[in-house]
């Protein structure tokens, strides 16, 4: 087994070929992502068997070398490699148990050069209705659920689907081609660019010109119908819904989706893309796959909508179009910038639509904060050891309620008007970019005209107990047990 380490990459010069780093040193998952290059463009293709039980996938990635590379890595864990090429020529490769595809190009790639890597894989996709998912494989990426294919890649499931640079900081414009048999439909992020049919095989190509992180990739296959609506500001609202449920679901979406977008635009400015909507499946959950939010169709019915508080879920996921999709986290420890904002504006929506008030929900989150703060660690520096190697555990940490509390404390401290200016500056200046916690602190300080570093760090890096809430000194936290 070939083991690569970061220092070799950092000491390299353009004249001396050396391996790109295996991982970017993310504090939560140090081995995810890759060094030695940046991703400029992604072309991804999927060819599904008629029964959806297996597929071939090809990743064609245009990369730019940031050092002279003797070899480099992509993220891949599980699928069987069928072919690897660099600039159209076969390349040597091997996989590691840690989830790396180590590629040795025919000749070293010089620093600054643009090159194309193509990897073809095969993988099975057993029906998880017959073989239910377990906590261990819940984040396996591609799910075959009955008649439907869906992706839930967050946080690092894309590497279990095909070969990619699987870190949210490695985002690039993406095209997705999906080939299927029979009458089943298909959908992916971006606009439908072309449809071709040969015999009983149909290929649809979708193009997302905005940078897309692989955790936000969505590929849907199944018996669904796609409906388009004109949304606020002329954006395309696209709803991919099970054909048997489409007529009963559309009225709820027609009411809530545009209303949630308009609600958020009043606070944050223009919607960051030109397409929004949902891919809903009977076994779905809720995930902010860019421009195509993945939802549960049962929660969208006239009965399921009020029972599950689905309007709040939709508001939460649409908030991610600004926070997480457009402005992506530089590291997984910056997850609070995604989830804290989504929770914060979800609770704003709740108050505006007759649910619990923001103060009520913040007070409850503050009351219980010692339980998750003690278990997972600070909001912006969660303890990886507390996750027990479970990829889903960071999404149970303080990123949600803790992030929302930190934002609420900031608004209490600087005032609502200044807070809104901070938020708008953040999403505007970092549109379709990658940013981190220190940059947020810098933006907040600059816009507010005061050094907010000590205040924000006291919240984001608190261990054990959060500071007193400005304006609510009567709020108290439950003791830990």
Count helices and strands (H / E) in the chain. Answer: 11, 23
Q: Which residue matches tokens 């194309």?
A: 116
Which positions ≥6 away from 432 have C-beta within 8 Å? 171, 210, 211, 272, 326
pLDDT digits (tens, 9 = 90+) for 353-411: 999 999 999 999 999 999 999 989 999 999 888 776 667 666 766 899 999 999 999 99
Helix/strand/coil for 100: strand
Give 13's pLDDT tier (boundaries 50, 70, 90). Answer: very low
Decide if pLDDT at 136 tops 80: no
Burial class (CB in 10 A: 0-12, 13-18, 19+), 217: buried
For CATH 1.10.390.10, list the domain ranges present in the chain.
327-460
Q: C-alpha angle 150/165/211, rounded to 5°?
A: 75
Which positions ≥6 away from 137 have C-beta within 8 Å? none
Q: For residue 361, what are its two tokens?
A: 């929900």
Q: pTM to 2 decimals?
A: 0.94
Q: For position 101, what pLDDT does the model report?
A: 99
Query: Rounded to an integer, what distance in angstroms lies between the CA atom of residue 50 and that of residue 180?
Result: 7
Bridge partner list, 65 = 37
Element (H, E) at 403: helix 401-414
| Low-confidence winner among 4-18, 104-118, 390-404, 454-468 (lowest mean pLDDT) | 4-18
Which positions ≥6 away from 136 have C-beta within 8 Å? none
| Low-confidence winner among 9-18, 183-192, 286-295, 311-320 (lowest mean pLDDT) | 9-18
Average pLDDT over residues 182-208: 97
CB 321 within 8 A of CB 277: no
pLDDT digits (tens, 9 = 90+) for 246-265: 999 999 999 999 999 999 99
CATH topology of domain 1-39+53-123+152-208: Immunoglobulin-like (2.60.40)
> What superfamily in CATH does domain 327-460 come from?
Neutral Protease Domain 2 (1.10.390.10)
Query: Rounded to an integer, what distance in angstroms lies between the CA atom of residue 420 and that of residue 102?
Result: 46
- Residue 404's nearest CA partner among 460, 464, 446, 465 is 460
Q: For position 5, what pLDDT does the model report?
A: 34
Query: Rounded to an integer, what distance in angstroms lies between the CA atom of residue 344 and that of residue 339?
Result: 8
For CATH 2.60.40.1730, list the domain ranges present in the chain.
1-39+53-123+152-208
pLDDT digits (tens, 9 = 90+) for 82-125: 999 999 999 999 999 999 999 999 999 999 999 999 999 999 99
Q: For position 12, what pLDDT does the model report?
A: 43
> What average pLDDT is seen over the chain?
93
């Amino acid at each position: 087994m070939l083991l690569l380490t970061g220092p070799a990459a950092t000491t390299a010069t353009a004249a001396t070929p050396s391996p790109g780093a295996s991982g970017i040193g993310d504090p939560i998952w140090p081995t995810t992502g890759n060094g030695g290059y940046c991703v400029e463009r992604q072309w991804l293709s999927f060819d599904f068997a008629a029964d959806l039980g297996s597929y071939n996938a090809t990743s064609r990635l245009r990369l730019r070398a940031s050092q002279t590379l003797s070899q480099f890595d992509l993220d891949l864990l599980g699928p069987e490699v069928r072919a690897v090429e660099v600039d159209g020529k076969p390349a040597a490769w091997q996989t590691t148990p840690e989830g790396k595809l180590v590629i040795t190009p025919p000749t070293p790639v010089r620093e600054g050069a643009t090159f194309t890597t193509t990897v073809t894989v095969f993988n099975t996709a057993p029906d998880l209705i017959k073989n239910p998912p377990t906590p261990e494989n819940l984040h396996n990426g591609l799910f075959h659920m009955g008649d439907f294919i869906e992706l839930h890649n967050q946080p690092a499931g894309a590497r279990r689907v095909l070969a990619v640079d699987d870190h949210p900081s490695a985002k690039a414009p993406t095209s997705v081609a999906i080939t299927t048999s029979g009458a089943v439909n298909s959908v992916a992020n971006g606009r439908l660019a072309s449809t071709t049919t040969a015999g009983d095989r149909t290929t649809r190509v979708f193009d997302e010109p905005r940078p897309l992180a692989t955790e936000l990739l969505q590929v849907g296959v199944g018996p669904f119908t796609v409906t388009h609506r004109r949304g606020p500001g002329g954006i395309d609202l696209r709803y991919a819904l099970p054909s048997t449920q489409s007529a009963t679901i559309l009225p709820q979406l027609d009411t809530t989706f545009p209303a949630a977008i308009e609600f958020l635009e009043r606070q944050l400015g223009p919607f960051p893309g030109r397409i929004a909507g949902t891919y809903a499946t009977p076994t779905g959950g809720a995930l902010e796959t860019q421009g195509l939010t993945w939802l549960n169709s049962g929660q969208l019915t006239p009965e399921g909508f009020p029972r599950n508080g689905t309007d709040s879920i939709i508001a939460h996921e649409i908030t991610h179009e600004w926070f997480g999709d457009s402005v992506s986290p530089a590291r997984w420890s910056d997850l609070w910038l995604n989830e804290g904002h989504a929770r914060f504006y979800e609770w704003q929506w709740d108050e505006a639509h007759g649910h619990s008030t923001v103060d009520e929900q913040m007070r409850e989150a503050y009351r219980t904060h010692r339980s998750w703060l003690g278990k997972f660690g600070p909001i912006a520096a969660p303890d990886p050891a507390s996750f027990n190697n479970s990829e889903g555990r960071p999404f149970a940490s303080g990123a949600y309620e803790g992030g929302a509390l930190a934002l609420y404390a900031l608004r209490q401290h600087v005032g609502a008007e200044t807070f809104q200016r901070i938020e708008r500056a953040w999403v505007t200046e970092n549109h379709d970019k990658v940013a981190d916690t220190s940059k947020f602190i810098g933006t907040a300080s600059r816009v507010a005209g005061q050094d907010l570093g000590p205040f924000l760090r006291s919240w984001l890096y608190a261990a054990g107990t959060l500071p007193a809430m400005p304006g609510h000194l009567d709020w108290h936290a439950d003791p830990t047990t």
